Amino acid sequence: MANKNVVYLTEEGLKDLKDELDNLINVRRPENIQSIKEARSLGDLSENADYDAAKNEQAQIEGRIKTIEKMLENVSVISDVPKDIVGLGSTVAIRYVDDDDEDQYKIVGSQEADPFDSKISNESPIALALLNHKVGDVVTVKSPNGDYEVEITEIK
């Protein structure tokens, strides 16, 4: 079972996270501080919607900065992805046994998962079923909607 404190990221995911942190610290935070100053200059803070909105945004920015910093403290970069067995970082082509449909997924850490980009979390039912298997293996995916079988047709 994966360590819940470890954040698994690809090199690309790590770069994206660092870029987001840089943007929050060097762009969004200074813009927000300026918005708070401008809202304060308008006078009465008790009924100042601009001030309230800026303070709420400040809380969101600072919260996200803390979250990213915590993630970066616990990051494990996915590297040395084996090509003969499904692992974290593998791109896997599968065939659904019941209907012969085919799909391809990249197995990434949960922070980087994006089903619309065919990136699935290593904690998802399909990834859990595929991990540590080889091309040609037929595995059972335990899904909330019922179990189904897939065959691994390629590992990249």
Range of the domain at 130: 91-155
pTM equals 0.75
Q: Using one digit for the tens of pLDDT, what is the confidence trace for 1-17? A: 445 688 989 888 999 99
Q: Using one digit for the tens of pLDDT, what is the confidence trace for 38-67? A: 988 887 777 788 889 999 999 999 999 999
CA trace torsion 92, 98, 102, 107 (10° rounding): -30
* 85 in a structural domain: no
Q: Domain of 29: which CATH number?
A: 1.10.287.180
100 and 134 belong to one structural domain: yes
* Nearest partner of 65 among 55, 57, 76, 54, judged by Cα: 57
* 95 in a structural domain: yes
95 and 61 belong to one structural domain: no
CA trace torsion 41, 44, 49, 53 (10° rounding): 60
Q: Domain of 103: which CATH number?
A: 3.10.50.30
